[in-house]
Structure 1
């Protein structure tokens, strides 16, 4: 959660915000914790995501699912390597909109 979303989530009763200084953080730090309603929303969201995932791969055999997992793991590892190589290097991250 970022500083922009925390006030809205707090207004909705999903989080509480407390000064972080009492917990040993700097004077500008704010601790954000989920309320019971926030935890409930997370659980509901996880259930929805897992249901969608199950439907998405429902047409694949177990072997095909294992192949998919392996390929996705390989892709994720490659993306992480690329991102690590770009940290602080000032390289183009592909976020330009021109061709």
Structure 2
């Protein structure tokens, strides 16, 4: 039977101290007892983390692009090139972060 713990040593210690069966298994064969633990990583189990991050990055990219378009229309005579450059840099960074999140992991 696999024992599921969070990805922390504190959770491992708490689970081990609360279970007499696990303590006995560790006394007889520690390696076998360690193989019965299953580590739960929130990045792998909680899909809302990625959904929220992708949504926020996507919204920021759209907002920046809309802002750049509005700046281009409102300020035709005297465009502030530094402001446009800053917005373009922020949006390209957000696009890179979004691409990095959506790219498949090499070990999967």
Does TM, normalized by the shorter one, top 0.5? Answer: no
Which of the pair has the greater relative contact order for Cα pairs under 8 Å at 6+ separation? 2
